[in-house]
Amino acid sequence: MKIILASNSPRRRELLSGLGFEYEVRTIPGLDESYPAGLSMEEIPQHISRKKAAAYSLNEDELLITADTIVYCKGEVLGKPVDEADACRMLRQLNGCTHQVVTGVTLKTREQVRTFSCTTQVTFAELSDEEIAYYVQHYAPYDKAGAYGVQEWIGFVGVTRLEGSYFNVMGLPVQRLYTELKKMNAI
């Protein structure tokens, strides 16, 4: 099948490329990423990834991959920060505690739709306000849920423990994706 990645994320492209597949990137700008109240932390990114997938029409030989990642900490969903102050606020909230990173993935063909999620527990060290400001100013994490990239400086100095998929924290649980693609006979 011809694989279509519906994502602007350079990290998702890098991770999917690591699986050795040929694929095409196809995106629709401005898709609605809202979700109804009352969903669990696993259901939120699943709902959004299904919503993204529903916006695409596919040819008979195509398989679409959509994904959405959230950071969940102390009962709050941390999406992408809107500005520097919001990014610093999010990182102070993550400071010194364990949070969950949940990615929902939807695989869609003309005949079937399969959605799953992957959760990773991430523990942060206590970082100073100066360290948080340094990261935000030098790495501008405005396109990242929770205002951080685990593969960047803050991951090197701040992540003390990770339980689950490292690649999920980057935005795509590639091992699980590979398994699901095999189940669909797509690879």
Is 68 in the active site? yes
User: Which candidate in 32, 61, 68, 86 is catalytic?
Assistant: 68
Tokens 């929902």 -> residue = 104
Neighbours of 94 (CB within 10 A): 24
Angstrom CA distances, 180 to 45, 48, 173, stand at: 17, 19, 11
- Which residues contact residue 124 at a Cβ distance below 8 angstroms, ignoring those fewer than 6 apart? 94, 95, 96, 97, 98, 99, 158, 159, 160
Q: Answer yes or no: are the C-beta atoms of 149 and 139 closer than 8 Å.
A: yes
So which residues are the catalytic ones?
Answer: 68
